[in-house]
Amino acid sequence: MPAITLPDGSVRRFDGAVTGTTVAAAIGPGLARAALAMKLDGKLVDLSTPIEHDSSLVFVTRKDEAALEMIRHDAAHVLAEAVQALFPGTQVTIGPSIENGFYYDFARNEPFTPEDFPAIEAKMREIISRNAPFERSVIDREEGIAFFAAKGEKYKAELIQDLPKSETITLYKQGEWIDLCRGPHMRGTGDVGNAFKLMKVAGAYWRGDHRNAMLSRIYGTAWRDQKELDAYLHMLEEAERRDHRRIGKDMGLFHMQEEAAGSIFWHPKGWKLYRAAEDYMRRRLDEGGYQEVKTPQLVDRALWEASGHWEKFREHMFIASVEDEDKLLALKPMNCPCHVQIFRQGIRSYRELPLRMAEFGACHRYEPSGALHGIMRVRAFTQDDAHIFCTEDQIASETVRFVALLSSVYADFGFPTFRVKFSDRPATRAGSNETWDKAEGALREACATAGVEYELNPGEGAFYGPKLEFVLRDAIGRDWQCGTLQVDFVLPERLDAEYVGEDGARHRPVMLHRAILGSFERFLGILIEQYAGRFPLWLAPVQAAVATIVSDADDYAREVARRMQAAGLSVKLDLSNQKINAKVREHSLQHVPVIAVVGRKEAEQGTVALRRLGGEAQELLPLDEAIRGLAEEATPPDLRRAKTSP
């Protein structure tokens, strides 16, 4: 006699065991139609699950977020059935729902191509229109293994093999097709609906391990209805327009070419942007108590051997040599060993700690070819790197200080929010458990003090210490680690850094490796996408275009441009004999934030007509006033703060 409590607080009693289906039907035909699954005592389960005890019950309908995930998961099953129907001999492996959709990994000698999609999609629609119910059954472990092995599904058999002994092994049957699955599922294949689309094929390693076989993965997207699907596809198109590679080309910011794969040719406009960011960072670091240094690009292998990089990182290092000398030099992949060398010069006192050593350090890493991505993942990049030499007791306060600086920098660049990951001790690590306890504790405490919320990234810390990763998202929805803070007990030891303490004895400092932008290249890539090339004035490579309407205004336009430049603005003078419409269009496409239009009227009055990018309004201002306003607006945020708060 289960009593079922519904979300509105009402209680319904039934004689004997019931299922979600019968409860929904008892409540009303509308709900019976809409209910796809249910949350039984908070746990998402099939609607057909028997309810034997008193429970709380919430029905899941298409409106719920949980439904979206089920649609995607069920779509993956439908995809798998379709593929096996069309391509006999293909083995199924796993197929989860993911952000925006789903995928399914298949084992097949010949990989799929996008040309296969129309046939697969048609078969999927057929399966969906059949609306076969998803039927759950429990199977004995050994039987399950035998069942899939007999079908030639060795991946499924392996999956069961590796499930914990305590796990109940369940199968889901849709029509004649059966898959190993934990569930839950909706009522039947028809609940998937038709708002789905296969998106791309890709290779993926079995169980994500590159030593395993390469499977053939099909990605799809699925939504509640056509409107949502269309909106998603539209969003993808929009994202493509923001892609930094596209904008970088269109605006002439940089280019890359095959003779220097993974390195960037910065063009004048792109370099202007780069320098605006660098100048800004330099001021923030100066103000933040950092000392800037510059260390060598080429360093003898002896130092890399001492630091441990030669052993652990060598395949990622560019090695250089000269004919006359029997030496091997490496282009530095990191700055830390060099910074320790500076620290080691002379005798350091505890009074100097925390010592914050910063460098815009140009590094080279031989990244795998498949990892390269625009200017976000390159082989030559410049980190806004710094190492803070401090005592263990200073870790927490330095972290708080760093997070405050990082938040302020991100906010100034237009990123009010960001994600933080906390990576704690990995399985293989250096240092004692006590040391790790201390380091992780200090980081946690610092996060609490700084009000930073993080997600735990268990076991993903560096071998030398725990770390915080600060993650920003690009236009296509990919996450990129930019900032980082890593606690390191190992390198000071290996490279023999020490200071004289208050007690007169020698001690090891702790090193905090930290970066805010991460690399200028990656950060600028994300910045370009964040603004879609429409930068605020302080970052815009060309801040204003001065465009004439008639050639009679040329002399005055030159004067306008000259005076704007004198005020520190970056100006493009356009005296070409095109119509003003064409000029406005051209500079707008180049994302120039301000167009100063001058014609006869402005020349006579000593004014300019300002037009903002994307807007239609014109603002007619006396030249002096216009320049004052623009110069003020072009002031970087940190300098503006310095001005207003004496």
Which residue, 599 or 637, is less far from RNA as judged by CB? 599
Shortest distance in whole angstroms from residue 242 CB to RNA: 12
108 binds RNA per the rule CB under 7 A: no
Shortest distance in whole angstroms from residue 185 CB to RNA: 24
53 noted as active-site residue: no
Stretch that binds RNA, among 155-163, 275-283, 362-370, 387-395 (CB under 7 A): 362-370
Q: CA 528 to CA 522: how far, in whole Å?
A: 10
602 binds RNA per the rule CB under 7 A: yes
467 noted as active-site residue: yes
338 by Cβ neighbours in 10 Å (0-12 / 13-18 / 19+) ranks as buried
Q: Which helix (H) or strand (E) holds 596?
A: strand 594-598
Q: CA 438 to CA 426: how far, in whole Å?
A: 15
Q: CA 455 to CA 548: how far, in whole Å?
A: 54
140, 552, 555, 624: residue in contact with RNA (rule CB under 7 A): 552
Q: Which residues contact 361 (CB under 8 A, 6 or more apart)?
A: 295, 332, 334, 335, 338, 382, 383, 385
383 noted as active-site residue: yes
Q: Are 227 and 173 in contact (CB under 8 A)?
A: no
Stretch that binds RNA, among 10-18, 175-183, 474-482, 500-508 (CB under 7 A): 474-482
Q: Which helix (H) or strand (E) holds 547?
A: strand 544-548
136, 373, 444, 558: residue in contact with RNA (rule CB under 7 A): 373
Q: Which two tokens stand for residue 513?
A: 């490796």
Shortest distance in whole angstroms from residue 370 CB to RNA: 2
261 binds RNA per the rule CB under 7 A: yes
208 binds RNA per the rule CB under 7 A: yes
Which residue, 107 or 163, is less far from RNA as judged by CB? 107
371 binds RNA per the rule CB under 7 A: yes
Q: Which of 272, 467, 507, 587 is catalytic?
A: 467
331, 549, 571, 634: residue in contact with RNA (rule CB under 7 A): 549
249 noted as active-site residue: no
Which residue, 209 or 503, is less far from RNA as judged by CB? 209
Which residue, 166 or 581, is less far from RNA as judged by CB? 581
Q: Which of 513, 514, 583, 587 is catalytic?
A: 513
396 binds RNA per the rule CB under 7 A: no
Total residue length of the chain:
646
- List Cα–Cα distances, 102 to 42, 76, 98, 135, 221, in angstroms: 24, 6, 5, 21, 6
Shortest distance in whole angstroms from residue 233 CB to RNA: 15
Q: CA 9 to CA 201: how far, in whole Å?
A: 47
550 binds RNA per the rule CB under 7 A: yes
273 binds RNA per the rule CB under 7 A: no
Shortest distance in whole angstroms from residue 146 CB to RNA: 30
Stretch that binds RNA, among 121-129, 145-153, 220-228, 368-376 (CB under 7 A): 368-376
- List Cα–Cα distances, 464 to 340, 427, 510, in angstroms: 15, 11, 11
44, 85, 86, 202: residue in contact with RNA (rule CB under 7 A): 202
33, 130, 200, 628: residue in contact with RNA (rule CB under 7 A): 200
Q: CA 244 to CA 376: how far, in whole Å?
A: 9
Site for RNA in 511-530 (CB under 7 A): none
Helix axes 433-450, 395-412, angle to 10 degrees: 40
Stretch that binds RNA, among 35-43, 122-130, 156-164, 194-202 (CB under 7 A): 194-202
Q: Are 449 and 396 in contact (CB under 8 A)?
A: yes
Q: Which of 187, 272, 365, 587 is catalytic?
A: 365
232 binds RNA per the rule CB under 7 A: no
DSSP tag of 457: E
Shortest distance in whole angstroms from residue 93 CB to RNA: 12
**DSSP assignment of 250-280:** HTT-EE--GGGTT--EE-HHHHHHHHHHHHH
599 binds RNA per the rule CB under 7 A: yes
**DSSP assignment of 190-211:** GGG-S-EEEEEEEEEEGGG-TT
Q: Are 67 and 60 in contact (CB under 8 A)?
A: yes
306 binds RNA per the rule CB under 7 A: no
309, 356, 387, 425: residue in contact with RNA (rule CB under 7 A): 309
Stretch that binds RNA, among 27-35, 138-146, 338-346, 584-592 (CB under 7 A): 584-592
589 binds RNA per the rule CB under 7 A: yes
Nearest Cα residue to 308 out of 489, 512, 507, 508:
489
365 noted as active-site residue: yes
DSSP tag of 87: S
614, 644, 645, 646: residue in contact with RNA (rule CB under 7 A): 614
Shortest distance in whole angstroms from residue 561 CB to RNA: 16
597, 626, 630, 634: residue in contact with RNA (rule CB under 7 A): 597
Shortest distance in whole angstroms from residue 120 CB to RNA: 15
**In 10 A of CB 82, how many CB atoms?**
24
Shortest distance in whole angstroms from residue 403 CB to RNA: 19
How many residues sit in the footprint of RNA (CB under 7 A)? 69
Burial 602-634 (b: 16+ CB within 10 A, else e): bbeeebbbbbebeeeeebebebeebbeebbeeb
Which residue, 160 or 264, is less far from RNA as judged by CB? 264
For the chain, count helices (H), then strands (E).
21, 36
10, 417, 428, 581: residue in contact with RNA (rule CB under 7 A): 581
**In 10 A of CB 438, how many CB atoms?**
18
234, 579, 628, 643: residue in contact with RNA (rule CB under 7 A): 579
Q: CA 622 to CA 608: how far, in whole Å?
A: 6
129 binds RNA per the rule CB under 7 A: no
417 binds RNA per the rule CB under 7 A: no
Region label for 387, one of left (φ > 0), alpha (ψ between -120 and 50) or beta (otherwise): beta
Stretch that binds RNA, among 2-10, 82-90, 179-187, 547-555 (CB under 7 A): 547-555
Shortest distance in whole angstroms from residue 579 CB to RNA: 4
Q: CA 167 to CA 260: how far, in whole Å?
A: 53
Q: CA 503 to CA 518: how far, in whole Å?
A: 37
Taking the CA atoms of 265, 270, 271 and 273 in sequence, report the sign of the dihedral they define.
Answer: negative
Which residue, 259 or 323, is less far from RNA as judged by CB? 259
Q: How are strands ordered across the β-sheet holding 506-507?
A: 348-349, 499-500, 506-507
**DSSP assignment of 517-529:** EEEHHHHHHHHHH
Q: CA 526 to CA 475: how far, in whole Å?
A: 8
Shortest distance in whole angstroms from residue 618 CB to RNA: 5
204 binds RNA per the rule CB under 7 A: yes
Residues engaged in binding RNA (CB under 7 A): 111, 113, 200-205, 208-210, 214, 216-217, 219, 245, 249, 256, 258, 261-262, 309, 312-313, 316, 333-334, 365, 367-374, 377, 462-464, 476, 478, 481, 549-552, 577-582, 584-585, 588-589, 595, 597, 599-602, 609, 611, 613-614, 616, 618
Active-site residue set: 336, 365, 383, 385, 387, 467, 513
